[in-house]
Structure 1
């Protein structure tokens, strides 16, 4: 079992931004660090291509760093494996269909006896140097987020080998996988 952190590959790929940043930012801030569904209150959120490049199925989203955006093609391919763990929130773009991937599976999955934490000189824990997970908590989950210091560590989204393999098999573009743990 391996766990991967997913990121958008920004090198040579397109990226997106909110059209109405001031108005729409309230839909994002603090809400993607929660497992509370947003679909019913989502509404219409418009985005545009801020940086041109090769089309990405996981474009970097400058609107909010804790939110992952995927293309309609990626949604259609991954939906059956992710539907119990995420909600797909639609974005309006003049040329493509995109969705914010709101991860609802958030677990107390960190093995604090084996993890290496990143700390400021003051001792404040701000992240992870080396990940370690409790296998019994994450087993069977294809996508998830974790807690750090009793708060959702929203900057990272983790996926299973199965998701990585599906992305690669279907030649989805713009995904960057970083192996963070294996058991």
Structure 2
């Protein structure tokens, strides 16, 4: 069994709120992992063109499904989600209301921010027995950001040929501890290579200014650079040594505290 983090394909088009200041409070409520009793349709617009998608980009912690996605997946996930309307008949917001108690805390390891607060998992393991009936879920530690799915959900999407879905492998029950250690060692060696010749370091605002002039900046597992359309993308180095790139509406707080240095360009 595997667990995947669900993402929108980076080539998909992007939705933004028409009036962020007016609708942001209502939007933030969708990141809480609970059913919402009152809702008014969000006003949304396409902010970046891309391929036709059944899962366009929007923001962390909430999905946007095409009507086709709902028709195909609803029978399997309706008890785990809430569909919320937008001022667009082609797509709906999907509020994930299923916060599952399935993390294996004995094996998982976490890291903290500079204030000593939980900031994320270095290694995330799940209890396989608790995933048997799961399709799509969040966990309490990442309720505002990460959305996870099991093989059953991913298989449905692939078999139905829905467009725009991307899946990042998070956990594999068949990976042995020895295999995981080798993977971790390769990952750590890559981080050492990145930091070995970092040269001058810059704070976040200085780094962004350099990216706006065409430079590529890195800090540990993170990288920021412009894509071929001039959009600043945030990349995170994965354990398979590839980068996961997103066009964030806002940047993770941890990225604002890091020191950045110039790095080699990546293909996005």
Measured against the shorter chain, the TM-score band is: 0.7 to 0.9
Which of 124, 129, 132 is the aligned partner of 1:131?
Answer: 124
- Residue of structure 1 equivalent to 2:39: 42
Q: Identify unmatched segments of 5+ residues in structure 2.
A: 174-268
What does 1:66-145 correspond to in 2, within 5 Å? 66-93=61-88, 97-121=90-114, 123-145=116-138
What does 1:19-30 correspond to in 2, within 5 Å? 19-30=18-29
1:121, distance to aligned residue in structure 2 (A):
4.9
Q: Structure 1 residues 44 and 122, CA, compared in 2 at 3 Å: closer, same or farther?
A: closer
SS of equivalent to 1:29? helix
Larger Rg: 2
1:50, distance to aligned residue in structure 2 (A):
0.6
SS of equivalent to 2:47? strand
Give the number of the structure with larger relative contact order, counting CA–CA contacts within 8 Å between residues 6 or more apart: 1
Structure with higher strand content: 1
1:22, distance to aligned residue in structure 2 (A):
1.5
Distance of 2:9 and 2:131 partners within structure 1: 25
SS of equivalent to 1:181? strand
Work out whether residues 31 and 145 of structure 2, in 8 Å CA contact, stay in contact via their aligned partners in 1: no
Structure with higher helix content: 2
Distance of 2:78 and 2:30 partners within structure 1: 19
Distance of 2:20 and 2:63 partners within structure 1: 17
The alignment's C-alpha RMSD in Å is 1.7
Equivalent pairs, count: 173
Distance of 1:49 and 1:71 partners within structure 2: 14
What TM-score comes out, normalization by structure 2 length? 0.60
Which of 54, 57, 63 is the aligned partner of 1:57?
Answer: 54
Deviations 1:119-172 (A, max 9, x none): 335543211222111223222110111122xxx532111111111111111111
What TM-score comes out, normalization by structure 1 length? 0.86
Q: Identify unmatched segments of 5+ residues in structure 1.
A: none
Work out whether residues 33 and 95 of structure 2, in 8 Å CA contact, stay in contact via their aligned partners in 1: no
